[in-house]
Amino acid sequence: MKQMITVHPSKDLFTKTIDIPKKDIKSDTYSQIGSSMLEILRKKGGIGLSANQVGLPFNMCVVELTSSDPKIMLNPRVVKQSDKMVKSSEGCLSLPGATVVVNRHANVTVNYEDVTGETISLSANGLLSSCLQHEIDHLKGVLMINRVGEVHRSRALKAVYRYKKAKGYR
């Protein structure tokens, strides 16, 4: 797996990922991929990372709000969401230098398989809820800039451009 984060405007970021067959989940492959993704996430200082951000087509992500609670999530899906919406100020490792305010559901319940194949149901609010929605959006090929109006999208993309130019991205 590549150690670099895929950045905008890569088409990989806009491509929907593929579900991992239930029979394949228990293989060491996804546990190893998840561990590598957590390592990258920690190096980059993020709280969530989807497989398509590291060049993989799989419907999986990692989330780690605190070092004591890392999650490797395979085939995550929102199964319940509150009607109440909240404003979430978000950044993204694939949109370096940009921050936007996105409307997110205040509470969500996400089902996913862990690396042992067990189905987990996770109810979340606050930062965890926003993070889960952000990562699941990634897995569907949706970026945070797709959830804001044209003015905010334009500002965010200009911030990414300035950041990439300052850091010598190609």
Catalytically active residues are 135
Q: CA 10 to CA 12: how far, in whole Å? A: 5
Q: Which residues contact 34 (CB under 8 A, 6 or more apart)?
A: 60, 62, 72, 115
The torsion angle over the Cα atoms of residues 114, 147, 127 and 63, rounded to 10 degrees, is 30
Tokens of 167: 């850091």
Helix, strand, or coil here: 143? coil
Classify residue 3 by its DSSP letter: S
CB atoms within 10 A of CB 77: 13
